[in-house]
Amino acid sequence: DAKTTQPNSMESNEEEPVHLPCNHSTISGTDYIHWYRQLPSQGPEYVIHGLTSNVNNRMASLAIAEDRKSSTLILHRATLRDAAVYYCILRMYGGATNKLIFGTGTLLAVQP
Amino acid sequence: GAGVSQTPSNKVTEKGKYVELRCDPISGHTALYWYRQSLGQGPEFLIYFQGTGAADDSGLPNDRFFAVRPEGSVSTLKIQRTERGDSAVYLCASSSGGAGGNEQFFGPGTRLTVL
């Protein structure tokens, strides 16, 4: 399974944009890029996913590099509730299994 | 609607005992996953069901771990002869299909402590 690399931690101020980077240089053509986040004492929560094009939803935006070797999760206005561990995960389409392989993620701290 | 639920929320047991952890997925979701999460780590995949059958059990650490989903809905993770190293949060997730683009919905987890 292809691996992802993320910074261990990042800090942001409330109401400012946050850009969370992820490197995945060994991504294959059939890998989707998924982002999940985990708030303290909760199960992970889906944020967004994409394949090639940039994606937007109510929670965030996902910017995917043209060569797909990296991506960035963008939170447009961070709130205190966005403080969580953010996981960037590659997930193969159409494989026999659809497991998520989590790394250690990026711990995002949001300052008031 | 109701999300994924897991019972019990906490389980304390003694080394060598048998435990069962239950997962109720979102109604209609055909895919169900078990993960476990140790302190400071990301969740680790254990097993994936598509309907009643285990499509991928490659993450089960050894034969003390077993999971069933007899009617394609509720699933039970069973751990025999528990060891202290089994202490972790056990997470269940479900999704509406198995394709790579489908999001997984996670339950709150069961915190297992083996004394």
**Per-residue pLDDT reduced to its tens digit, A26-70:** 998 888 899 999 999 899 999 999 999 999 999 999 999 999 999
A45–chain B Cβ distance below 8 A for any pair? yes
Q: Give the residue among B108, B101, B76 at the shortest CA–CA distance from A45.
A: B108
Of B44, B45, B104, nearest to A46 by CB-CB distance is B104
pLDDT > 70? residue A6: yes
Give the pLDDT band (50/70/90) at residue A98: confident
The beta-carbon neighbor of B43 closest among A91, A97, A102 is: A102
How many Cβ pairs within 8 Å bridge chains A and B? 69
Partner-chain contact A94 B100, CB within 8 Å: yes
pLDDT of residue B101: 55
**Burial annotation B72-109 (CB, 10 A radius, 16+ → b, else e):** ebebebebeebeeebbbbbbbbbbeebebebbbbbbbb
- Chain A residue closest in CA terms to B5: A43
**A43 to chain B: which residues are within 8 Å by CB?**
4, 91, 93, 106-109
**A52 near B CB under 8 A:** no
User: With bands split at pLDDT 50, 70 and 90, how would you rate the model's confidence at A95?
Assistant: low
Please report the pLDDT score of residue A72 as a whole number: 98
Provide the 3-class DSSP secondary structure of residue B105: strand
Residues in chain A with CB shorter than 8 Å from the CB of B5 are none
Q: What is the pLDDT along chain B (115 residues), one digit of tens a residue?
A: 589 999 999 999 999 999 999 999 999 999 999 999 999 899 999 999 999 999 899 999 999 999 999 999 999 999 999 999 999 999 999 998 755 557 899 999 999 999 9
